[in-house]
Chain A
Amino acid sequence: MEIPYVVTPRKDTGLFNSKIAIWLFLASEVMLFGGLFSGYVFLRMGADYPWPERTLPILPGLLNTFILIGSSVTVVFAWAALKMRNWMRFKIFMAITVLCAVTFMIFKGIEYNVKFHHQAVRLKDYTVLEGHLGKEMENDKPVLDHNGKEIEENTIRVKADSLTFNTVRFYKPWVEEALSEAKHRGSKVTLASDVEAVTEEGKGKQTIAKAGTPLSVDLLEEIAEVHLDARGHNADLRTAALKAEWKKAKQDNPGSKGWQLAANVSIDTEALNPRLLTEIGTVKFNVEPPCRLDFKPRHIQEGEGSSRLRDDTVVTGELLESPMVFHNIDAIDFTYLAMKAVERGVDPEVAIENSWVIQNKKWAREAWEWNKAQTAKLEDRLLKDYGVDRETGKPKREPTAKERYRIGWKEFVAMTDGADRGEGKTFLKEEFVGPDYAGREAKHTFPHAEIPREQVAFASKFTPSWNTYYAIYFTITGLHGLHVIGGALVLCYYLLFCRKMYLENPEWLANRVEVAGLFWHFVDLVWIFAFPIFYLM
């Protein structure tokens, strides 16, 4: 059996199979990216926060665009070379294409990596600060945690005296983490009291574990097993008892409906109690002596005296100061604050003057004053260059909200250099990966700051969780990146493993390369839209 029209086109449709298939596939891809881009449009239209315009460094995106366009040209050359039966040329162009794909992904990786290590925080008054988190230091040396890693200063610290685990829901890695951390700080985690349970019907209590037994996942699992056995046993008993009650009720009240009887049908708890086994829902462990345990903010609902982890573990103890410490603040962004102020009919400048950073931090006040002066300068220049609109009487061009209310890293650089906005000296590398903190440390370009926890409304790295812009940026470019990788793998396969096919049936290989090329062009096509949308708009 042979499938027809694999190589030669069918006469009436004029197409070979895989060409129809790839076009169908591209049609579905249009809908996929269409769905995502429509997501972008409607998230942007409906955004209730200032959309981060032109927030990414343009240079890597621009280079990637050039790379992808170049690869589109070379892939079509490679196909043409095959059509002309020039294997050597095919190999050269295909190799360049694959190389382009690899470079594209490397640039993409660098961009992502920078974002993943860049921290943002929104304060309760809607001020947004961006920068790099500091590492916990002691005597100018980084403090190491139980894993031997430096501690980023964005943890919730609890001086824990006890941990109470939910026997069903405890999360093993966290238990091990807490155990290891306590050990690192010289504390022991031991069972607070004897765990006793009736494990067999009609028998007395048995001791499962004695008070003072050190915490271990095995111990928790052992207790969990006893708990689950008891839970199942008790549920069976209760079910059987309820069934019996219902049978009796129905016999006693023929013709009555279920909902009429329901109020009077219940399990005779007292009769049943002696037969029930002990369920152990939680186990409490003491931390002795009480020691500091660190938790990621997202994992814990902190409270005074008692905090709860996501896996239902309760940590009791004193909540310690847990500030967020920025070693380098590289942007103060008042745009959100200004927007909220306007919404509430407050003058944005007044709201900014009253914000927590301006009130409490000298560097913030300085930067804000500098920025205000710069904005005034810009206002004057725009008025001079473009004049006033005759109808409205307002200047034709005015500074944007971003210029007025956002002090970015380039502004900090300009301010330190004593230059005007946009005239600070930056290096090529900085245009690519953002400011060079270490290099500029000597001039104290980027301030250090400690943000008390109670001022923090929402904090995140520049990951999808920071806002919907980054969410859609990572989703679309990530998916696009996967397409690049997939396409490159296929092209690579043709480059490396298809010599035999070329010798046997070059037309078939040419068809395949054409089809893969169509996919590759489509990937380019998506990027042609993604680049301006994410980098320039």
Chain B
Amino acid sequence: MADTPEAIRKAFLTYLIIGGILFVGTVITVLVATQEWLDFGGHGFDWHDAVVGMIIATVKASCVAAVFMHLNHERKSVYWIFFGSLFFCAALFALIGLAKENPIHDDYFYQAGEAAAPVGDTAAK
């Protein structure tokens, strides 16, 4: 644990390296979003780019959490607390997603309403 002055002095370099990684990661994310030669998937934004962007962001976030927030050497209870919340957060995403992806869908119910209104009318005040 980086608590003694010597250990902390050593850790300075680590902090700088992590800072560098974060800068580079950010630049790469922007390049993926703006440059055609780094465009994943089809032309323009699509889910490939989103996945790449999120992976880079996750890596960056892990670096911050592990090194700056000292999660690489922390007590067990902190792991329980923090990863517990991440777990429930994931459950929140996953289950709402599941509910959204699996609705009872009656095509007739939706089409009847749509067909009745010509373009433009539904937005009329």
Which residues of A does B touch, CB under 8 Å?
Answer: 13-15, 19-20, 23-24, 26-28, 30-31, 34-35, 37-38, 41-42, 45-46, 53-54, 58, 62, 65-66, 69-70, 72-73, 76-77, 80, 83-84, 122, 124-126, 340-341, 343-344, 346, 351, 382, 396-400, 402-403, 457-458, 517-518, 521-522, 524-525, 528-529, 531-532, 535-537
Contact = CB atoms under 8 A, between A and B. Distances in A.
Contacts of B43: 382, 397-400
B123 A126 contact: yes
A531 to B, nearest CB: 7
Contacts of B119: 125-126, 340-341, 344, 346, 351
A31 B68 contact: no
Interface residues of B, number: 55
Interface in B1-57: 3, 5, 8-9, 11-12, 15-16, 18-19, 22-23, 26, 29-30, 32-34, 42-45, 49-50, 53-54, 56-57
Shortest 5 CB-CB contacts between residues of A and residues of B: A27-B85, A400-B44, A34-B89, A457-B123, A397-B43
Contacts of B56: 532
B30 A58 contact: yes
Contacts of B33: 54, 58, 532, 535-537
A contact patch SS:
helix
A24 B78 CA distance: 8
B104 interface: no
Contact of A518 (B16, B69, B92): B69
Contacts of B34: 58
Contacts of A77: 12, 15
Contact of A124 (B12, B30, B68, B120): B120
B contact patch SS:
helix
Interface of B: 3, 5, 8-9, 11-12, 15-16, 18-19, 22-23, 26, 29-30, 32-34, 42-45, 49-50, 53-54, 56-57, 60-61, 64-65, 68-69, 75, 77-78, 81-82, 84-86, 88-89, 92-93, 96-97, 100, 114, 119-120, 123-125
A406 B105 CA distance: 33
A15 B75 contact: yes
Nearest to A85: B5
B3 A38 contact: no
Given A66-B26, A77-B12, A84 B5 contact: yes
B60 A14 contact: no
A521 B69 contact: yes
Given A84-B5, A400-B43, A42 B89 contact: no
A80 B11 contact: yes
Contact of B29 (A46, A458, A532): A532
